Structure 1
């Protein structure tokens, strides 16, 4: 027991001594630790200062390098830009010189074109005036020719409705006896027929169709008496109606055909009308007679009066109207080049 106590006592003394030694060593460690911390802070401060100086030196070096590189880039870029600009200016000058030459060439060609256009305009105007004069003169000659043709047919009549071959061997004897019989003339009446024949053209294959018979009288009064008598009677031949009419020029007949629908309306309304030579129409209205020069005038007036007359589907266009439609401009004094210069004067740049 005593031994155990003595061992415990000895252990406590040992622990106390260890703690005291430990405390003594701790005090020494703290003193040495304070000395080491100061050195560390000083070392860190020196290291930071060194790094700062190195960084500042590197920044200065980098700044100097950047300035040097920027200066080199500036010089290089300036040289390259000047070189490219000089090349570009040379190309532009060369192209401008080419364009200027083209403009001068085009200007010379335009002057030549203007001159030729002016000549064409002058020639076209002269040709147009000459053509209009020729058409006017041709129209006058045609009217005179139609008048002469109508006068040459003044003593003629045309007979429609007598079948082919009925005249036998002598057309004059057949017509003489036919007119005397159908018109109730005396046998000893001298009709003074100069010529009688079928209208020119091939004989029709259809027997129901026959060519008209042209009869020429020596005297106009005999022809006029035959017409008036024939118009006052109903003439037939072998059961077919026969018509006696004036022998008119083709142009006059074409104009008279334009009155066909007009005549139909006037007959339905029982309005008296006449067709004086060459191709006019005289209508006896309640207000008095009125003469029209062509079918267009009649249609226009009848439509105004309330009569329904349809216009022609394809109205005839004169050559004068066609010529006017084909040329949409008229030449004025001064010529093409003069007018062009006058218009370009408005765009001339005024000096500063």
Structure 2
């Protein structure tokens, strides 16, 4: 490299120190230096020219890569922003749908709860009515039981009073009374007791015991006689 080229290279280095275009300026100066040296010697240094071309290709490739990276970065930023907006939109829609579904279910739950409360109220009312009816029924049954007891006592008393006028006769053979048990007994009493003629025994009714008719070898049924007055008995 000649002295002129070196001076220009140093001058430009001082002038452009700290500038991003410094490597390009140095390459231009180096290219001029190579051409100047080639003109002085009358030939072109092939190795230096190839090295210079390689550097230019590398520089161009790096510049293209930087441009591609920058464009890719911008495209990624745009796509990321679009994806972010779309994601926000979808999340907003999902949240809105979820809120609507929750509101719908809450409304349905509230309706079901109100229906259950009405059913419970109706059931409680029916239970209260049944309990009231049960109380009334128990009172009525108690009164009926008391009345039945009193009637049973009266019936027992009447039955006892009616039996006071009865006598039971044992040992009379079956069918000995014939068609009229009352007439047979009046004659029997007057004959066996030697009662005077014209005595009215006032027998109201007479009949065999209500048991089934026994066999011929068994004991005969008793005869029950009811008198109108106890004194006659």
Normalising by the residue count of structure 2, what TM-score does the alignment of the two structures yield? 0.50
Residue of structure 1 equivalent to 2:93: 83
Give the unaligned 5+ runs of structure 2: 1-53
CA contact (8 A) 2:174 2:221 kept: yes
Whose Rg is larger? 2
Structure 2 residue matching 1:197: 3-state secondary structure = strand
Q: Supply the distance in 2 between the matched residues of 1:206 and 1:198 (Cα, whole angstroms).
A: 15
1:134 aligns with 2:144: yes
More helix by share: 2
Total equivalences in the alignment: 172
1:214 maps to which of 205, 215, 224: 224
**Displacement, 1:156?**
1.0
CA contact (8 A) 1:172 1:193 kept: no
Residue of structure 2 equivalent to 1:153: 163
Structure 1 residue matching 2:224: 3-state secondary structure = strand
Encode CA deviations 1:278-323: one digit per residue, 9 max, x unaligned. xxxxxxxxxxxxxxxxxxxxxxxxxxxxxxxxxxxxxxxxxxxxxx
Give the unaligned 5+ runs of structure 1: 1-42, 224-352
**Displacement, 1:129?**
0.8
**Displacement, 1:172?**
4.0
Residue of structure 1 equivalent to 2:109: 99
More strand by share: 1
Q: Supply the distance in 1 between the matched residues of 2:195 and 2:168 (Cα, whole angstroms).
A: 20
Normalising by the residue count of structure 1, what TM-score does the alignment of the two structures yield? 0.36
**Displacement, 1:117?**
3.7
Q: Supply the distance in 2 between the matched residues of 1:112 and 1:146 (Cα, whole angstroms).
A: 49
**Displacement, 1:151?**
0.7
Q: Supply the distance in 1 between the matched residues of 2:72 and 2:171 (Cα, whole angstroms).
A: 128
Q: Supply the distance in 2 between the matched residues of 1:95 and 1:211 (Cα, whole angstroms).
A: 87
CA contact (8 A) 1:176 1:193 kept: no
Q: Supply the distance in 1 between the matched residues of 2:228 and 2:102 (Cα, whole angstroms).
A: 96
1:121 aligns with 2:131: yes
